[in-house]
């Protein structure tokens, strides 16, 4: 008994101490993001926080490293409480930003966008995902988020293996398939692929976009009409063909893209990997024994990709002016160039000012895609829960448990249910 009561008392005391940690004063500026500390974004933003501190020595800056998962799962619950920060990084898209925007949990930034001159920095194509309407659909309504970096899906390729086998960078889908075939004939599985996470749907959507026009992308992403399945049927058929021809391994259904297929590429086993710019840091650091580069998957106009997650100011933020000042600093030329020089895909950098090879290449590719209006976004955005459904369905396609027709039927059912409810 004694032991218990002692323990209980000491536990109670420490609990009181823990609860008594300094309450936030007005002069504390709270910032959250979930980019990992070693990413170019996080490094550049930390720099911006330093500048902010220099301008406001009286303000205590309280930065918290968040987890993507926590904001993804509990974001709306947190933003709906009085624990929200002054500014935070939050995922773009209907199911995340759209949901909390439609719940009225964010501060509209339209006036600041003009008065602070951000409209000069970010063209319309770069702020498509900043506005959400009452149903949480992107494209119209108040502006609630400001992007500070970008991401896109391209083909990572092993330059040495291409040279060794006399293969050129393909510029059409036929050439791409010919390259796949040439590797296969040498006994190499050409594509690193994993369907356990988003990698599966990135390749699928990249293929679908080769068949897509402006209307299709607009309708698909904006839930404007029932699903036109033609592009997806084409993509599904291609993936099944590629599996049958051995361009893609059946083992893909047991691999993740991150922490699986990416290792097949970085260890030099597979010469190509269709994936996003978030791999850059990993590849730049860890690929030591061959030369690698990227090319855009051959497509008439659209590629998988978008502006990155955005900075948003919660409704309940106490220091909105500081939050906006911070966003301004992040968008500044210096900060954007710094991000690109760290290897990041900055959204408003000056390519001429970039010395880092990876950063330069990626900013150029991104500008090339976004200038022609070719950002096709991601396949899981229109429908909440589509991300998981696409993982399941794509896996079914690769392991043969569903045919391309069954595959698109599944996509269509889930899509049309949500679309009809609009």
Partner 1 sequence: MDKSQNAGRAGYYLYMIPGMLGFILVVLVPLIANFAISFTTWKGGNIAPRYVGIENYQRLLADTVFWSSIQHTVLFIISMTIVPILLGLVLAAVLFDYISAQFSETWSSFFRAGFYLPQILPLTAAGVLWAWILNPVGIINAVLKGIGLDFLAKNWLGDASFALWAVSAVIVWVQVGYCLVVFMSGLARVDPSLYEAAELDNASWFGRFRYITIPMLMPEIFVVALTTLIAALKVFAPIYVLTSGGPDNATTVPSYLSYYHFFTTNRVGYAAAIATLQTVMTIVLGIAFLRMQSKQEGGR
Partner 2 sequence: MTTTASLSTEVVSDMHVHHGQKKGFARWIVLAILLVFLAATLFPFLLAALNAIKTPADYAANGPLALPHSFDLTALQNFWTTVDFTRKLFNSILISGCTAILAVVLSLLNAYAIGIGRVRGGKALLVVLLISIMAPQEALVYPLYYMAKQIGLFDSMLAVILIFGVLHTAFGTYLLSSVLTTFPREIIEAALIDNASRWQILWKVIVPVLRPTLAVLATFFFIWTWNEFLIPLVFLVSNNNQTVSVAMGVLSGANTQDPTAIAAASLLGVTPTVIFFLIFQRTLTRGVAVGAVK
Applying CB under 8 A, the residues found at the interface with partner 2 are 1, 4, 7-8, 11-12, 14-15, 18-19, 21, 34-39, 64-70, 73-74, 77-78, 81, 83, 91, 198, 256-259, 263, 266-267, 276, 278-279, 282, 285-289, 309
Instruction: Please report how close the Cβ of residue 19 comes to partner 2 at its closest, in angstroms.
Output: 7
What does 107 bind: partner 2, partner 1, none (CB cut-off 5 to 8 Å by kind)?
none
Contact in structure between 234 and 124 (CB atoms under 8 Å)? no
Two tokens at 297?
A: 């998957």
Two tokens at 12?
A: 């109670």
Instruction: Name which of residues 52 to 91 contact partner 1 (CB under 8 A).
Output: 72-74, 76-77, 80
What does 7 bind: partner 2, partner 1, none (CB cut-off 5 to 8 Å by kind)?
partner 2
CA 228 – CA 211 distance, rounded (Å): 12
Given the complex with partner 1, which of 6 and 73 has the nearer CB atom? 73
Among 91, 127, 211, 252, binds partner 1 (CB under 8 A): 252
Instruction: Please report how close the Cβ of residue 268 comes to partner 1 at its closest, in angstroms.
Output: 13
CA 102 – CA 95 distance, rounded (Å): 10
Residues in contact with partner 1, shown as a per-residue x/- string from 8 to 47 under the rule CB under 8 A: ----------------------------------------
Tokens 């949480």, residue? 136
395 in contact with partner 1 (CB under 8 A)? yes
CA 77 to chain centre: 22
Q: Which stretch binds partner 1 (CB under 8 A): 204-212, 214-222, 271-279, 389-397?
A: 389-397
What does 388 bind: partner 1, partner 2, none (CB cut-off 5 to 8 Å by kind)?
partner 1
**Burial per residue of 256-271, b for 16 or more beta-carbon CB atoms within 10 angstroms, e otherwise:** bbbebbbbbbbeeebb
Evaluated on CA atoms 397, 401, 406, 409, the torsion sign reads negative
Instruction: Please report how close the Cβ of residue 74 comes to partner 1 at its closest, in angstroms.
Output: 8
Instruction: Please report how close the Cβ of residue 97 comes to partner 2 at its closest, in angstroms.
Output: 14
CA 335 – CA 342 distance, rounded (Å): 11
387 in contact with partner 1 (CB under 8 A)? yes
Strand partners of residue 312: 88, 145
* 26: three-class secondary structure by DSSP: coil
Can you point out the beta strands (E) in 120-219?
Answer: 131-132, 138-143, 145-147, 150-158, 191-192
392 in contact with partner 1 (CB under 8 A)? yes
Instruction: Please report how close the Cβ of residue 251 comes to partner 1 at its closest, in angstroms.
Output: 3
Given the complex with partner 2, which of 281 and 396 has the nearer CB atom? 281
Instruction: Please report how close the Cβ of residue 389 comes to partner 1 at its closest, in angstroms.
Output: 9
What does 216 bind: partner 1, partner 2, none (CB cut-off 5 to 8 Å by kind)?
none
CA 128 to chain centre: 15
What does 282 bind: partner 1, partner 2, none (CB cut-off 5 to 8 Å by kind)?
partner 2
CA 312 – CA 323 distance, rounded (Å): 9
- Rounded to 5 degrees, φ, ψ at 13 are -60, -50
**Of the candidates 104, 71, 92, the residue with the CA atom closest to the CA atom of residue 308:** 92
Given the complex with partner 1, which of 105 and 354 has the nearer CB atom? 105
Q: Which stretch binds partner 1 (CB under 8 A): 92-100, 107-115, 216-224, 306-314?
A: 92-100
Given the complex with partner 1, which of 117 and 254 has the nearer CB atom? 254
**Of the candidates 25, 264, 17, 65, the residue with the CA atom closest to the CA atom of residue 157:** 264
**Of the candidates 206, 244, 216, 185, the residue with the CA atom closest to the CA atom of residue 398:** 244
* 13: three-class secondary structure by DSSP: helix
Helix (H) or strand (E) holding 307: strand 305-307
Instruction: Please report how close the Cβ of residue 385 comes to partner 1 at its closest, in angstroms.
Output: 3
Task: Report the interface residues with partner 1, using CB under 8 A.
Answer: 72-74, 76-77, 80, 95, 99-100, 102-105, 195-196, 249-256, 259-260, 264, 384-385, 387-388, 391-393, 395-396, 399, 401-402
């Amino acid at each position: 008994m004694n032991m218990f009561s002692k323990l209980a008392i000491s536990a109670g005391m420490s609990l009181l101490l823990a609860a008594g940690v300094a309450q936030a004063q007005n002069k504390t500026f709270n910032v959250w993001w979930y980019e990992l500390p070693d990413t170019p974004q996080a490094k550049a933003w930390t720099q911006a926080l330093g500048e902010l501190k220099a301008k406001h020595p009286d303000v205590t800056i309280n930065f918290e490293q968040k987890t993507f998962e926590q904001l993804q799962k509990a974001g709306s619950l947190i933003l709906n409480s009085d624990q929200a920060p002054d500014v935070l990084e939050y995922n773009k898209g209907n199911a995340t930003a759209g949901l909390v925007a439609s719940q009225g949990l964010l501060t509209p930034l339209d006036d600041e966008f003009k008065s602070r001159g951000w409209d000069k920095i970010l063209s319309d194509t770069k702020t498509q995902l900043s506005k959400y309407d009452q149903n949480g659909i992107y494209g119209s309504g108040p502006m609630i988020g400001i992007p500070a970096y970008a991401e896109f899906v391209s083909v990572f390729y092993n330059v040495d293996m291409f040279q060794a086998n006399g293969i050129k960078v393909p510029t059409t889908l036929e050439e791409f398939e010919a390259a796949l075939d040439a590797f296969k004939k040498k006994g190499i599985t050409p594509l690193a692929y994993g369907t356990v996470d988003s990698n599966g749907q990135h390749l699928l959507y990249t293929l679908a976009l080769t068949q897509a026009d402006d209307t299709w992308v607009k309708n698909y992403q904006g839930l404007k009409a029932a699903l036109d399945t033609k592009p997806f049927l084409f993509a599904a058929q291609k993936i099944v063909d590629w599996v049958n021809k051995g361009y893609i391994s059946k083992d893909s259904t047991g691999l993740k893209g991150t922490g699986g297929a990416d290792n097949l590429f970085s260890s030099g086993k597979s010469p190509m990997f269709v994936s996003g710019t978030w791999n850059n840091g990993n590849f730049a650091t860890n690929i030591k024994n061959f030369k690698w580069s990227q090319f855009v998957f051959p497509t008439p106009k659209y590629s998988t990709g978008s502006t990155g997650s955005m900075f948003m100011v919660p409704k309940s933020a106490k220091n909105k002016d500081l939050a906006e000042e911070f966003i301004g600093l992040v968008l500044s030329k210096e900060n954007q160039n710094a991000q690109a020089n760290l290897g990041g895909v900055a959204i408003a950098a000056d390519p001429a000012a970039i010395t880092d090879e990876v950063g330069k290449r990626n900013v150029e590719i991104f500008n090339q895609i976004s200038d022609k209006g070719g950002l096709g976004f991601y396949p899981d955005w229109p429908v909440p829960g589509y991300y998981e459904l696409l993982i399941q369905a794509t896996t079914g396609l690769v392991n043969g448990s569903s045919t391309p027709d069954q595959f698109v039927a599944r996509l269509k059912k889930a899509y049309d249910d949500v679309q009809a409810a609009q």
